[in-house]
Amino acid sequence: MKTLLENKTNTVKVGVVIIALALLVTLPNWGTRGMIPIFTLIMIYIAFGQMWNLLSGYTGLVSLGQHAFIGLGGYALAVSSERFGLPLYVGFIMAAIVSFLFALIISVPIFKIKGVYFTICTWVVAHSLGLFLSTLAFVNYAIGINIRATFRLPTSTIYYVALGVAIVSVLAVYLLLRSRFGLGLMAMRDDEDAAEARGVALYKTKLKCFLISSVIMGVAGAAMFMNLGFILPASAFGIDWTISMVIIVIVGGKGTIEGPIIGAVILVMLRQWLFDFPGYSMLILGAIAIILILVAPKGIMGLVHRFTGAEFFSVRRRPKRITEPK
Amino acid sequence: MQSVLSAQDLAISFGSNHVLKSVSFEVGQPEILGVIGPNGAGKTVLLNILTGILKPNSGTVHFMGRDIANIKITERVRIGLGRTFQIPRSFENMSTYENILVGGVYGDNIKEKEAGRQAVEIAERIGLSSHINTMAGRLGLLDRKRLEIGIALASRPKLLMLDEVAGGLTESEIADIIKIVKDIKAQGISVIWIEHVLQTMIDGTDRVMCLAEGQNVITGLPQEVMQSKIVNDVYLGVDEDE
Ligand SMILES: Nc1ncnc2c1ncn2[C@@H]1O[C@H](COP(=O)(O)OP(=O)(O)OP(=O)(O)O)[C@@H](O)[C@H]1O
Ligand SMILES: [Mg+2]
């Protein structure tokens, strides 16, 4: 009986996912012109939120420097396109490679640093990268570069890239959590030292999350700057990106897959409504985040889960039912 | 008697607090070694040394004939050193089943499918079958203590170290725990069992060691040790808060 019920909810879930995907894929055909750029932003912010959540929501490594990878991804795209004349898709591959290598190198010193000092160092690294690029003639100093190849792109193309990035980010987290690796990751999220005492290798798990998070963040960063068409160090390596990610995750719900999706929708919509008062949307979101931390530390998803028990992307493991003859 | 673990001259201090000065003992295969001692005697510290969480200032530990000084925490679980935490540390946002899975998958390096089958069996053995899909954070204290044993068992230890799993239990619950531990020994698993509850030590162990003032002051048959003058002096010398 229960199995039947579970199968039924699973069918409903799969149905919802298919309908949602179908709506998103056909958006350029039915949506208004104004909707496409908004959904493009939502998609990219979903990826940002998922990746920050994967790192900080699960491993407890609170990084305030993940925008380093948005900047690196953006510059990888800009440089390969403008300086080397490579097609844009190569720019995305370069974004992934550069982010991976930078994450790998920086992990060596930065993983030796613990707690709040880790958080500060990640920010310093990101900020320094911005300052460093401002001194390079190759990338036109602090003035920045136009990514001209993006100018001719239809908004729907940019939207599809963003949609792809969002799907990859959600799928990556989902598959990761369902895997053997995810079991250890969830244990680590709940109690790091106890997880280690039970055989979960902390360093390896954290490094793997950091690398995956950084690579996809870099690709999402490339998508963001493909959307913007222009890049300069101050915007590429600005902490605003990371503040947005943190708010998305806190508002939506830390340590869940649904959380960053809900958070990204709220963040982008609110900014849209308050478009004429740019400072206010962040102020309001910040206030919402602080209130949520106080009254519902697990965010909106935490509240939904508490009152309805609903969990959309369930990564729960359940024992196989034993069919014993009665 | 063949021993699964032998510790020689273990010492550790935190600043000027010399918690262990010289502790030596052996655990037979299989054997249930009870460990008693007043609050703050260093019983939990001793477990933390054996599992690699703390490094001793001096002394050696041999596990199945091998010096384990340089073996990492995670590796010690896999070679067969299992433990429970005095204050239960189950993974709160994971179910009973998933908690036990972690023990098997990470503590014994087995496939999730096999760990799953094993988890169902273990849940039954520790009496948590009816809570198999309950989040550990929603279990009561007694159930969480049972779960501690379950997670440790899932790593298929050769030596299981229990840190006060019977404190605060009723008499019949204590009888249950004793039965669980004796069953564990019957499977060939050795046990180090730290406990303040006298009944568990007398009915549930093969030998008892008393830790006090940084040393193993006496080791012997449970009745002998419990009735010894040394143990009486040790416990009279401190405020009993049990
Ligand atoms: N990591 C640590 N750093 C500093 N001091 C510690 C640490 N761990 C334990 N101690 C100290 O070591 C002493 C022994 O502690 P331990 O927890 O081993 O006692 P215990 O015998 O387990 O007592 P109880 O019966 O209350 O559990 C205490 O004084 C404690 O404060
Ligand atoms: Mg203790």
B140 lines ligand 1 (CB under 6 A): no
Chain B residue whose CA is closest to A317: B98
Verify whether ligand 1 is closer than 6 Å to residue B38 (CB atom): no
CB of A191 within 8 Å of a chain B CB? The answer is yes
| Residue B22 pLDDT | 97
Q: Ligand 2 centroid to B40 CA: how many Å?
A: 7
pLDDT at position A6 is: 66
pTM: 0.90
**Protein residue with least CA distance to atom 26, ligand 1:** B39
**pLDDT at site A5:** 63
Helical spans, DSSP H, in chain A: 2-25, 27-30, 35-52, 59, 67-82, 88-110, 115-133, 155-178, 180-190, 192-197, 202-228, 233-236, 240-252, 258-273, 278-295, 299-308
pLDDT, average across residues A38-52: 98
| pLDDT of res. A274 | 84
Sorted by sequence, the CB contacts under 8 Å of residue A224 that are 6+ apart come out as A44, A70, A73, A74
Nearest CB to B103; choose among A196, A198, A255: A198
| Chain A hits for B77, Cβ within 8 Å | 197-199
H-assigned helices in B84-211: 96-107, 112-125, 141-154, 171-186, 198-204
Measured CA distances, A48 to A281, B35, B94, B126 (Å)? 18, 52, 26, 43
Atom 5 (ligand 1): residue with closest C-alpha? Answer: B14
Is the pLDDT higher at B1 or at B4?
B4
As a dihedral over the C-alpha atoms of residue A229, residue A230, residue A233, residue A239, rounded to 10 degrees, the angle is -50
Give B100 Cα–ligand 2 centroid separation in angstroms: 23
Residue A184 near chain B (CB below 8 Å): yes
Higher pLDDT pick, A59 / B209:
B209
In the prediction, which pLDDT does B242 show? 45
Of A69, A236, A269, nearest to A165 (Cα)? A69
Q: Is B199 in the pocket of ligand 1 (CB under 6 A)?
A: no
pLDDT digits (tens, 9 = 90+) for A179-230: 999 999 999 999 999 999 999 999 999 999 999 999 999 999 999 999 999 9
Check if B48 has its Cβ closer than 6 Å to any atom of ligand 1. no
> A64 in a domain, yes or no?
yes
Please give, rounded to a whole number of angstroms, the shortest distance from the CA of B106 to a CA of chain A: 5
Which domain, by its residues, includes A77? 39-238
Nearest neighbour of B91 by CB, restricted to A191, A317, A320: A191
pLDDT per position as a tens digit, B169-179:
888 889 989 99
Model pLDDT for residues A286-297, shown as the tens digit of each residue: 898 899 889 888
- Given a cut of 80, is residue A3 above it in pLDDT? no
Closest chain B residue to A319, measured at CA: B116
Instruction: Identify whether A114 is part of a domain.
Output: yes
Cα distances (angstroms) measured from residue A62 to each of A52, A114, A127, A205, B86 = 9, 10, 16, 15, 29
**B190-214 mean pLDDT:** 95
Residue from B84, B98, B114 whose CB has the most chain A CBs within 10 Å, to mutate: B98
* All residues at 6 or more sequence positions from A239 whose CB lies less than 8 Å from its CB, including other chains: A64, A67, A123, A126, A127
How many domains does chain A divide into?
1
Cβ atoms of A264 and A248 closer than 8 Å: yes
Euclidean distance between CA atoms B30 and B51, whole angstroms: 19
Domain membership of residue A302 (yes or no) is no
Q: What is the pLDDT of residue A325?
A: 45
Quick one: average pLDDT of B88-115? 96
C-beta of B213 in contact with ligand 1 (< 6 A): no
> Is residue B240 over pLDDT 60?
no
> Mean pLDDT score of chain A, rounded to an integer?
92
Best substitution site from B44, B162, B163, B164 to test ligand 1's pocket, by max atoms within 8 Å of Cβ?
Answer: B44
A100 is a domain residue: yes
Lowest mean pLDDT among A95-99, A186-190, A270-274, B234-238: B234-238
**What is residue B238's predicted lDDT score, i.e. its pLDDT?**
57
Q: What is the pLDDT of residues A136-188, one digit of tens each?
A: 999 999 999 999 999 999 999 999 999 999 999 999 999 999 999 999 999 99
Q: What integer pLDDT is reported at residue B167 of this predicted model?
A: 84
Terminal CA-CA length for chain B: 34
Q: Ligand 1 center to residue A215 CA distance, Å?
A: 43
Q: Which residue in the block uniquely carries the two structure tokens 């010398």? A: B237
A196 in any annotated domain: yes
Closest-CA residue of chain B to A182: B102
Is the residue at A124 inside a domain? yes
What is the mean pLDDT of the segment spanning B90-104?
A: 96
pLDDT score of A324 more than 70: no
Collapse the DSSP code of A86 into the 3-class scheme (helix H, G, I; strand E, B; otherwise coil) and give the result: coil
Mean pLDDT of all residues belonging to chain B: 94
pLDDT > 80? residue A310: no
**Distance from C-alpha of A251 to C-alpha of B60, rounded to nearest angstrom:** 51
Cα A243 from Cα A189, distance rounded (Å): 21
**A180 to chain B: closest CA residue:** B112
What is the per-residue pLDDT for A1?
Answer: 46
Q: Which A positions 273-302 lie with beta carbon below 8 A of chain B? A: none
What Cα–Cα distance (Å) separates residue A227 from each residue in A83, A90, B27? 19, 16, 67
Structural tokens at position B16: 């000027």
Could B73 and A196 be called an inter-chain contact, meaning their C-beta atoms sit closer than 8 Å? yes
Query: Would you say residue A285 lies in a domain?
Result: no
Percent of chain A with pLDDT over 90: 76
Amino acid of residue B45: V
For the segment A8-13, the average pLDDT, to the nearest whole number, is 83
Residue B180 above 50 pLDDT?
Answer: yes
pLDDT over threshold 60, residue B183? yes
Q: Which of A197, A317, A319 sits opposite B53 (nearest CB)?
A: A197
Percent of chain B with pLDDT over 70: 97
Does the residue A21 lie in any domain? no
Cα B153 to averaged position of ligand 1 atoms, centre (Å) = 25
Taking contacts as CB-CB distances below 8 angstroms, the residues of chain B near A186 are 91, 93-94, 98
Distance from CA of A320 to the nearest CA of B (A): 8
Task: Name the residue facing A184 among B90, B106, B123 (closest C-beta).
Answer: B106
Asked if A190 lies within 8 A of B92 by C-beta distance, the reply is: yes
Q: Which residues make beta-bridge pairs with A145? A: A231
Give pLDDT tens digits for B47-65.
999 999 999 999 999 999 9
Best of B79, B90, B94 to disrupt the A interface (most A CBs within 10 Å) is B94
Query: Rounded mean pLDDT of B199-227?
Result: 94
Start-to-end C-alpha separation, chain A:
16
Question: For residue A3, which residues of chain B lie inside 8 Å, CB to CB?
Answer: none
At A101-129, the pLDDT tens digits run 999 999 999 999 988 999 999 999 999 99
DSSP letter for each residue of A27-67: HHHHS-TTHHHHHHHHHHHHHHHHHHIIIIIIH----S-TH
Query: Among the atoms of ligand 1, which is closest to the Cα of residue B211?
Result: 21
